[in-house]
Amino acid sequence: MELVSQNKCFGGTQSVFRHASELCGVEMTFGLYMPPQTRTRRVPLLWYLSGLTCTHENAMIKAGLQRYAAEHGLALLFPDTSPRGEGVADDQAYDLGQGAGFYVNATQQPWARHYRMYDYIVAELPNLLLGKLPLNGVNGITGHSMGGHGALTIAFRNPGLFRSVSAFAPIVNPTRSDWGRKQFSAYLGDDEANWGNYDACLLLSELGWRGDILIDQGAADQFLDQLQPEAMARLMAERRQAGVLRMQAGYDHSYYFVASFGEDHVRWHAERLNAA
């Protein structure tokens, strides 16, 4: 881990690191906020997965989560959304390629060489941080849009790694959305039988979730047809899944929406992670 930058923030430190990723085959960058409580004890870690076109930096700068993380004694991790750099496959469209990894392990060329974002989040990053930082091994995960899709699918498949999960405007049913079908065809191939491991609705139906779920969705979101929150709401009701999906009147898809409800999410995770 090479330290790129470090700034004092709400009594803690906001750092940016880069490292050589064995899985992705390139240097990867992530942001890490350590709250002031780490001076005396180990703390839980809340992962934040960002959406399309974002880097590690967007939420780190715009979401305003550090203030609430400092109040509740949580560390924050902001991974990048894809591998990047010369030689990494890309596309002219904003929703495919660099900045649009969709948190999957690509199996199709030219993507398979570098696009291993699922394993990067689930295996490589946890192993990189293990033992190097004052973290207590208790993890929660959240994210926005494509990152909300990533947070839900990764948590549902890895309940031993993540104790709590929430999302802001997630893509909940990507196998039935243009934000999903296009990318899954490219990254995973045309056989839709291989897509189910990356669809939150399909995974919740198959695997369930032992805890409760918090989802916030802006009712004025310009991408509602892609996000399909009603599919998750119906499924949670049918399964009697503990949790809540809140439609927030007047809010769109922007970081103004994330920042408006960020305090709720950090506090919600803190209640579950600090009680572990």
Residues designated catalytic? 145, 221, 253
Cα–Cα distance list, 22 to 28, 116, 154, 219 (Å): 10, 10, 20, 41
CB of 46 closer than 8 Å to CB of 31: no
Q: How many CB atoms lie within 10 A of CB 190?
A: 10
